[in-house]
Amino acid sequence: MDKDIHLYQQLYTIRCFENLLMDQFSSGIFPGTTHTCLGQEANAVGVLSHLCEQDVVVSNHRCHGHFLAYGGDPVALFAELMGKPSGVCGGVGGSQHLHWQNFYSNGVQGGTVAMATGMALAEKRAGTQAIVIDFLGDGTLGEGIVYECLNMASLWAAPILYVLENNHIAQTTPVDLALAGSITKRFEAFNISASHLDSSDILEIYPLAGELVDKVRKESRPHVLIIESARLGSHSKGDDTRHPEELDRLWRSRDPVAIQTARLSEAALRSVNCQVEAAIQSAFEAALAVESRRG
Amino acid sequence: MMAQRPATVLDSLNLGLRQALEADSRVILLGEDILSPYGGAYKVSRGLSKAFPDQVLTTPISEAGITGIAGGMALRSMRPVVEIMFGDFTTLIADQVINHIAKFNRMYNGQVTAPVVIRTPMGGHRGYGPTHSQTLDKLFLGVPGLTVLAPINLSGADPLGVPGRLLYDSITKANSPVLFIENKLQYLMKLLTPTDLGEFDMADLSPAGSGRYPFYKFALKAAPPARITLAAYGYMAALALEAVQQLAYEHEVFCELLVPSLLAPFELAPIIQSVKGTTRLLTIEEGTLTSGWGAEVLAITAAALGPGLQRTGRLAAQDSVIPVAPELEAACLPDTADIINQVREMVRRT
Ligand SMILES: Cc1ncc(C[n+]2csc(CCOP(=O)(O)OP(=O)(O)O)c2C)c(N)n1
Ligand SMILES: [Mg+2]
C-alpha cells in the first residue's frame, strides 16, 4: 500500500475508534470515564510506526491512540472499555490501565515516567537492544518525580525516548498557568538532548520520530521529542472549558486527519474510509456481543 | 571458607542480601549511600558493592524515583531491592507503592508480576526526633497487592538466621511487592539461639507448606495455662519476650506470645487459636495507637471469637510527635515495663 494511504488509514482508525466511543458514551455501555486522543493521532502513529518487536511503550491516561498504533486490537480495547472479561485487561484496568505485549499505561500523572525509566534500565542491563517510548503530557511536567527520573535516566544512560505531547492544556489549565520557563531547557538541564516539532502533520512527525528511535537505540541514552500538538476533544467525556472559537480554529489548523486527507485521491479516500469505518463498527459490535460478567 | 553464622540481625540481613545477589544476577540493590565502605546509613549493605559492583547502585536522594524505577525494572524481569534510609521517608514512596507497584498485577489482570522488595528501618529510642524515629508500618497495612513483613531476631535452624532467610526469600522468590520492615534497635540485637531461649517452648505455627512466613508462639516451659495472649512483631517481639519472663518470675502471670512475620495480608489463625484458650489479647506495636496494627488484629479476633474474646488491650506509641529529649521520647514509646503493667492490669480480677 502507498505510504501516504497507509499512514492515513492508521490515523483514521484511531479517529473512528474515538469518535464511536464518544458517540456511544451517553448510551451507558461504557462505565466510568475516558480520555480520547482526538487531534493527537499523528503523534501515536508517527512515533510507534518505528518500533522493533522488543521495544516497550509506556503511555498515560490518554492511551487509546497509542495502544491502537502499537498494534492493539480494537475489539479487545472496546471490550475493556465495556468492562468485559475479554477486554485487554479483563475489564479490571479500563480506559487508562492497559497492558498487552510490551505496552503499558497508567492513569497517575508522573509515575509512569519512573516505570518507563526503570524498564529502559532493565532492558539495557539485559542487553536486549530494546528501547522504551514514554508518552507524557505538558501538565505532567508539574510532578516532581518526573525530574527525579530524568536525572537518573541521564545519569545511568537509559535507552528511552520521552515523547512530550504538548497540547498546551491539562484538563482545563492552559500551559501558561502551570509551567514556568522552557520545556526544552528542563530536559537539557539533565543533559537529555531535545528535538522540537510544532506540527500535527504525520509526514513531519513520522520521519523525525524514525530518526530519534534509531538515535536512542544507537546511543543508548535518553532523548526527548517535544511535539506541539492540539487536543481537539474534551479532556474526558465532555468537560471542555475552551472557547468554541478557539476549538474551531484548532480544528481548522491542527487536525492531523484533515491534513493527511488532502494528500489522498478521492477514490483512495473513499475506499479507506469505507474499510476503516466498517472495521471499527464491527469491532464495536464484536465487543458488544461477547458475554458480560454475570451478576 | 565456610561463611560464619551471623550473630546479629544486621549480619543476618547483610548475609541474606549477599546470597540473593549471588544467587540471581537479576537482583539489584538501589539506595542512598549504600556503596562500600559506608554500606548504607545502618550498614545493612556493607561490603556488597565491593563484591557485586554491577548489582549495587547508589542513587540520588530520590525515594519516589528509585522506587518507581525499581517497579519498572521488576515489570521487565529484574528483582530490585530498594533501601529507604529512614522508614519515615516511606511517605515519599507511597504513590509508587500504592498506585503503581502494588497495583500492577491485579490492574493488568494477572498478566504481570512486580517483585520489588523495599527495605527500611523504622523505630525510635535513638533521639533522632520527630521525622527520623517513627514507625509508619500501619500506613501500608491493607494495601491490596502489597506484602508487609517484619522479622524477629531469631537464629533458627537456618544458616542465614531468620531475618536473613525472610529477606532472601522475599528477594529471590516473591511474586508480589514486599515492604520489609526493619528496626533501628533491632539491627544490633543478637540472634537468639535455642540456648538463649532455653526456658521457652517455641513453635512455628505458620500454615503447613507456607513456611515462608514464620509465625512463632512462645510460652515458658512447664508453665501453668496462659491467662493472656500477647501479639507483637519485630523489635517489639523482643521486648515482649523479656516481659513474658518477668511477668512469670516476678508476678506469676503466665502468657503466650504470638509473633507473626507476615503483617499484611493479615493471617491471624495462630493468635485466634491462642485467644480461644486465654480469652485476653494484648497487641503491642511501636507505631502510634490510632488505627494501628493492633486495632485490626483485635477486630479480626473479635469477629472470629465473639464473646470468646473477653478483654482487649492495645499498647502502642502515643498519638504524638516523637521528641528528641530522651525522657520525653521514652515516655512516648512503649517499652518492656509498659507491657508488664498493661498485662497485669488486664489479668487483674475485677
Ligand atoms: C497525579 C495525578 N493528578 C491529577 C490527575 C487528574 N488528571 C488526569 S489527566 C490530567 C491532565 C493531564 O494533563 P497533561 O499531562 O497535559 O495530559 P493531557 O491530558 O493534556 O493529555 C489530570 C490533572 C491524575 N490523573 N494524576
Ligand atoms: Mg496536556
Closest C-alpha to ligand 1, atom 25: A108
Q: Which of B136, B131, B140, B146 minimizes the C-alpha distance to B94?
A: B140
Domain boundaries, chain A: 3-289
Q: Decide if B95 contacts A111 (C-beta within 8 A).
A: yes
Shortest distance between the Cα of A60 and any Cα of chain B, in A, equals 12
Indicate which atom in ligand 1 lies nearest the CA of residue A108: 26
Put simply, the answer to whether A152 touches B60 (Cβ < 8 Å) is yes
Question: Residue B213, Cβ neighbours under 10 Å: how many?
Answer: 18
Asked if the model's pLDDT at residue B344 lies above 50, the reply is: yes
User: How sure is the predictor about B319, in pLDDT bands with cuts at 50, 70 and 90?
Assistant: very high
User: How sure is the predictor about B60, in pLDDT bands with cuts at 50, 70 and 90?
Assistant: very high
Per-residue model confidence (pLDDT) at position B312: 98
Put simply, the answer to whether B62 touches A152 (Cβ < 8 Å) is yes
Per-residue model confidence (pLDDT) at position B247: 98
Per-residue model confidence as pLDDT tens digits over A20-40: 999 999 899 999 999 999 999
Q: Decide if A105 contacts A96 (C-beta within 8 A).
A: yes
Put simply, the answer to whether A122 touches B72 (Cβ < 8 Å) is yes
Q: β-strands A99-100, A103-105: how paired?
A: antiparallel
The answer, for B349 touching chain A at a CB cutoff of 8 Å, is: no
Asked if domains B9-183 and B200-348 share a fold, the reply is: yes
Q: Decide if A216 contacts A159 (C-beta within 8 A).
A: yes
Closest C-alpha to ligand 1, atom 21: A137
Cα separation, B300 vs B296, whole angstroms: 6
Per-residue model confidence (pLDDT) at position B4: 77
Per-residue model confidence as pLDDT tens digits over B190-199: 999 999 999 9
The answer, for B145 touching chain A at a CB cutoff of 8 Å, is: no
Put simply, the answer to whether A89 touches B60 (Cβ < 8 Å) is no
One-letter-per-residue 3-state SS of chain A: CCHHHHHHHHHHHHHHHHHHHHHHHCCCCCCCCCCCCCCCHHHHHHHHCCCCCCCEEEECCCCHHHHHHHCCCHHHHHHHHCCCCCCCCCCCCCCCCCEECCEEECCCCCHHHHHHHHHHHHHHHHCCCCCEEEEEEHHHHHCHHHHHHHHHHHHCCCCEEEEEEECCEECCEEHHHCCCCCHHHHHHCCCCEEEEEECCCHHHHHHHHHHHHHHHHHHCCCEEEEEECCCCCCCCCCCCCCCHHHHHHHHHHHCHHHHHHCCCCHHHHHHHHHHHHHHHHHHHHHHHHCCCCCC
Closest C-alpha to ligand 1, atom 1: A109
Q: The C-alpha cell of B273 is what?
A: 487459636
Per-residue model confidence as pLDDT tens digits over B255-281: 999 999 999 999 999 999 999 999 999
Cis before B60 (ω within 30)? no
Cα separation, A238 vs A232, whole angstroms: 12
Asked if the model's pLDDT at residue A250 lies above 50, the reply is: yes
For residue B69, which residues of chain A lie inside 8 Å, CB to CB?
A: 114-115, 117-118, 121, 149, 152
What's the start-to-end Cα distance of chain B, in Å? 61
DSSP annotation of B317 reads E
Domain boundaries, chain B: 9-183, 200-348
Check if A154 has its Cβ closer than 6 Å to any atom of ligand 1: no
Check if A72 has its Cβ closer than 6 Å to any atom of ligand 1: no
Q: β-strands B147-149, B178-183: how paired?
A: parallel
Asked if the model's pLDDT at residue B2 lies above 60, the reply is: no
In terms of CA atoms, which chain A residue is nearest residue B78? Answer: A122
Shortest distance between the Cα of A180 and any Cα of chain B, in A, equals 22
Q: The C-alpha cell of A172 is what?
A: 482545563
Q: Does domain A3-289 have CATH number 3.40.50.180?
A: no
Per-residue model confidence (pLDDT) at position A237: 87
What are the residues of chain A with a beta carbon less than 8 Å away from any beta carbon of chain B?
56, 89-90, 92-93, 97-99, 104, 106, 108, 111, 113-123, 125-126, 144-145, 148-149, 151-152, 155-156
Q: CB-CB: which of B64, B73, B74 is closest to A145?
A: B64
Per-residue model confidence (pLDDT) at position B3: 59
Q: Which CATH number fits domain B200-348: 3.40.50.720, 1.20.1600.10, 3.40.50.300, 3.40.50.920?
A: 3.40.50.920
Of the ligands numbered here, which is closest to the C-alpha atom of A64? 1
Per-residue model confidence as pLDDT tens digits over A136-167: 999 999 999 999 999 999 999 999 999 999 99
For residue A145, which residues of chain B lie inside 8 Å, CB to CB?
A: 64-65, 68, 95-96
Check if A107 has its Cβ closer than 6 Å to any atom of ligand 1: yes
Positive or negative CA dihedral for B186, B191, B196, B201?
Answer: positive
Asked if the model's pLDDT at residue B1 lies above 50, the reply is: no
Check if A46 has its Cβ closer than 6 Å to any atom of ligand 1: no
Q: The C-alpha cell of B113 is what?
A: 508480576
pTM of the shown model: 0.96
Put simply, the answer to whether A89 touches B95 (Cβ < 8 Å) is no
The answer, for B96 touching chain A at a CB cutoff of 8 Å, is: yes
DSSP annotation of B194 reads T
Shortest distance between the Cα of A90 and any Cα of chain B, in A, equals 6
Sole residue written with cell 464473646: B307
Q: The C-alpha cell of B7 is what?
A: 550473630
Check if A62 has its Cβ closer than 6 Å to any atom of ligand 1: yes
In terms of CA atoms, which chain B residue is nearest residue A158? Answer: B69
Per-residue model confidence (pLDDT) at position B349: 73
Cβ under 8 Å to A: B residues 43-72: 57, 59-60, 62, 64-72
The secondary structure element, H or E, covering residue B340 is helix B336-347
DSSP annotation of B101 reads I
The CATH number assigned to the domain with range B9-183 reads 3.40.50.970
User: How sure is the predictor about B156, in pLDDT bands with cuts at 50, 70 and 90?
Assistant: confident
Rounded to an integer, the average pLDDT of A219-237 is: 96
Per-residue model confidence as pLDDT tens digits over B102-129: 999 999 999 999 999 999 999 999 999 9
User: How sure is the predictor about B210, in pLDDT bands with cuts at 50, 70 and 90?
Assistant: low
DSSP annotation of B285 reads E
Indicate which atom in ligand 1 lies nearest the CA of residue A96: 25
Check if A61 has its Cβ closer than 6 Å to any atom of ligand 1: yes
The preferred substitution site among A134, A171, A177 for testing ligand 1, maximizing ligand atoms within 8 Å of CB, is A171
